[in-house]
Structure 1
Amino acid sequence: MRMTRKLAAVVGGIALTGGLLAGGAGTAGATAAAAADCPSGWYCVWSGENYTGRMQKVEGNNADLTGFSVFQGFKSRYQHGKNCDFKWYSEKNYKGSSGVIKRGSKLTGSATHFIKSNKWVNCV
């Protein structure tokens, strides 16, 4: 029993640290979340409707988000950027179709969305 708890603590620590090692994109656990969990200056997505499920967040420009699973199938998003709008692309390296999401914009629903790269634009 004691060994099982230690192993769970080590595995949990590794899972939590994984987001910190990812550079521009971070990860939150699979517990229920809320839009308020998205830090100021970040663009956050959740795997489930109503800001539930696994959360991933991105700060800065990213030419390839395909290594982050939630960006490849999310149902909720919050653009919590401080000074810029968020420009998403359907392909890596800022290619494919794109759109701009204004600061403060939130969206949740049953439709599944994906983003393969992003830039911050229209900065004030």
Structure 2
Amino acid sequence: MLTKTMAGALAVAGIFAMTAAGPVAAQGASAPAKQDCPSGYACFWEGPHYLGRVVRIQRAGVTTFVPKVASWDNSRTTDMRVYAGFHQDGPSRCVQPGESSAGVEGFKAGSVRIYPSASVC
């Protein structure tokens, strides 16, 4: 359930991420570096080169980003697939464990599916 405090934090953060289990809070207003993605997490930045607000997701599942995210890092041990569309539609890219994208190629993700177990891609 989205509490008033969480809703305020998400609105201030600028990125709204929603999973099936509920909202995922964006972190901080500074420009975090790629190394700020802890092991076991999938991290997504609103700007290219890992700049802007960051969303860190630990659980497997589907997440939608508004606005879209431009760079990401998969520090999990499972694959994830990023989609251009908000509903797991449009062009997509598989991101294996340890892979990342600085967003220089212009692809922006509107949603992601993080797989719960072994390699899928």
The TM-score normalised by the length of structure 1 is 0.63
Percent identity among equivalent residues? 25
Q: Amino acid of the residue matched to residue 89 of structure 1?
A: Y
1:24/1:60 contact within 8 Å kept: no
Gaps of 5+ in 1: 1-10
Q: Amino acid of the residue matched to residue 116 of structure 1?
A: S
Q: How big is each residue's C-alpha offset from its partner over 1:14-59, in whole Å with a ceiling of 9 and x where there is no partner?
A: 528x88xx64633111201011111222211112232221111233
Indicate yes or no: 2:83 matched with 1:86: no
Q: How big is each residue's C-alpha offset from its partner over 1:76-112, in whole Å with a ceiling of 9 and x where there is no partner?
A: 211111x211122344554444331011112214424
C-alpha root-mean-square deviation of aligned residues, in Å? Answer: 3.3
Larger radius of gyration: 1
Q: 1:36 is paired with a residue of what secondary structure? A: helix
Q: Which residue of 1 aligns with 2:9?
A: 15
Relative to total residues, which structure has the larger helix share, 1 or 2? 1
Indicate yes or no: 2:26 matched with 1:42: no
2:44/2:69 contact within 8 Å kept: no
Gaps of 5+ in 2: none
